Homo-oligomer: A and B are copies of this chain.
Amino acid sequence: MQTMNINGPRLLAQLQTLAAIGRTETNACCRLALTDEDKQGRDLVVGWMKDLGMSISVDPIGNIFGVRPGSQPELAPVMTGSHIDTVRTGGAYDGNYGVLAGLEVVATLNDARQNTERSIVVGIFTNEEGARFAPDMLGSLVYVGGMPLDEALAIKAIDGAVLGEELKRIGYQGTAALGVHQPHAFVELHIEQGPLLDADGIKIGAVENLQGISWQELTIVGQSNHAGTTPMRLRHDAGYAASAISTFVRDLTRKMGGNQVGTVGHVVLTPNLINVIAARATITVDLRNTDEQLLQQAEQALNEFLKSLSESEGVTITSRRLARFEPVVFDAALTDRIAHHAEALGLSHQRMTSGAGHDAQMMARICPTSMIFVPSVGGISHNPAEHTEPDDLIAGANVLFATLTELANQESNP
């Protein structure tokens, strides 16, 4: 079976067709979750699922599942999938690639009139990006029981809309039981969204783990004053405090080394004038590590720094938790199989860590899970310039095909 190849041109064409929905003037894809554009994208892909003869179910959080029945439907199915919502300035591949490659696996099996023992399920998870509703990875989180449905349906969008009402409005609040498919295994194919595969000239990443994420927003309140007339010793400079935190985060990553990364990507000063000491600063701190203990150490070190900075500068610093996910270790045996199939297909490959969050990290709570990465040119993502070479897209889908079909023909549940 591993020598069978998916139909590359068909996959590429479907990716472009989907990318045309919600296309902006700057050539970005804008299909924010549960907007009219998201509905159009869902309708298109559900249509393709039906064309493939798949049976469709939609659950109350709007996750869509297309099923290609196996010859032994009593066995737990093999699942793949991802998301088709985008950020405001999204690219063509983030999420969409994983969903459409899943359909391409089904289409290839259909073309060859090949059965599998287990059913194959292709999932489309609601609001993975978190660009309209927080938190991100919401559909898969609710699917695995990580958030009560009622709580999720009540979430307000950045535009004020309520998630449950938007689901109804676009006709995607279904009645299938949450978690209806308890998979034998879950495999998600995704562009890397980072620079490592591209920089090293490697075609396939066999993802063995996913970074833990710690996001907080810090609000620093100092005292506004004249930049010329206020002696340094009398300052309570919220802007300086913000910059000291940013440089501390950089120093911390240097001291800790390893996988620790840290970013201050958002800074807003008030009043933000050349000759006025800032009264207030709001910044975000993004810390990530593959090791939960090290991530906690980083949070702890930051916390201690904030206390001493608060005292030395005479400012108050308050923290609001925006997100916290523990690192996820994927199923080692499954990651091995991905590497094996890449090897068998003559594709260079490496074990790697996912720096971004994905629906797979939620699915890992309920079944053996791993991910396949393909290169992102220049590591660019969440950007109209997001690009993966067509050959690499096809290669990744072939690895997915080999991995899924092998899993779907495993007789016993693990």
A residues with CB within 8 A of B: 192-196, 199, 211, 213, 215, 217, 224-232, 234, 237, 239-240, 242-247, 250, 253-254, 261-269, 272-278, 284, 286, 288, 322, 354-357, 379-383
**Which of A217, A227, A262 has the most chain B CB within a 10 Å cutoff?**
A227
Report how far A213 CA is from B284 CA in the complex, Å: 32
Instruction: Name the one of B211, B225, B242, B247 contacting A228, with C-beta atoms under 8 angstroms.
Output: B211
Q: List 19 A-B contacts (CB under 8 A).
A: A194-B225, A194-B228, A196-B231, A199-B234, A225-B379, A225-B380, A228-B288, A228-B357, A229-B355, A234-B379, A237-B250, A237-B263, A240-B250, A243-B245, A243-B264, A243-B267, A265-B273, A266-B273, A274-B286
Report how far A268 CA is from B267 CA in the complex, Å: 7
**How near does chain B come to A202, taking the closest CB pair, in angstroms?**
14
**Is A228's CB under 8 angstroms from B274's CB?**
no
Nearest B residue to A229, CB-CB = B194
**How near does chain B come to A309, taking the closest CB pair, in angstroms?**
11
Residues on the B chain within 8 Å of A194, using CB: 225-226, 228-230
Residues on the B chain within 8 Å of A274, using CB: 215, 217, 263, 265-266, 284, 286, 322
Instruction: Name the one of B244, B254, B379 contacting A226, with C-beta atoms under 8 angstroms.
Output: B379
Instruction: Give how many copies assemble into the complex.
Output: 2
Residues on the B chain within 8 Å of A355, using CB: 226, 228-230
**Which of A192, A225, A272 has the most chain B CB within a 10 Å cutoff?**
A225
**Is A195's CB under 8 angstroms from B263's CB?**
no
**Is B265's CB under 8 angstroms from A229's CB?**
no
Instruction: Name the one of B192, B247, B383 contacting A247, with C-beta atoms under 8 angstroms.
Output: B247
Further 14 A-B residue pairs, CB within 8 A, beyond A194-B230, A242-B246, A243-B243: A195-B234, A213-B228, A224-B383, A225-B380, A226-B356, A226-B382, A228-B355, A229-B381, A230-B355, A230-B379, A234-B379, A265-B278, A274-B322, A275-B286
Report how far A194 CA is from B228 CA in the complex, Å: 8
Residues on the B chain within 8 Å of A263, using CB: 227, 237, 239, 274-275, 277
Report how far A273 CA is from B284 CA in the complex, Å: 8
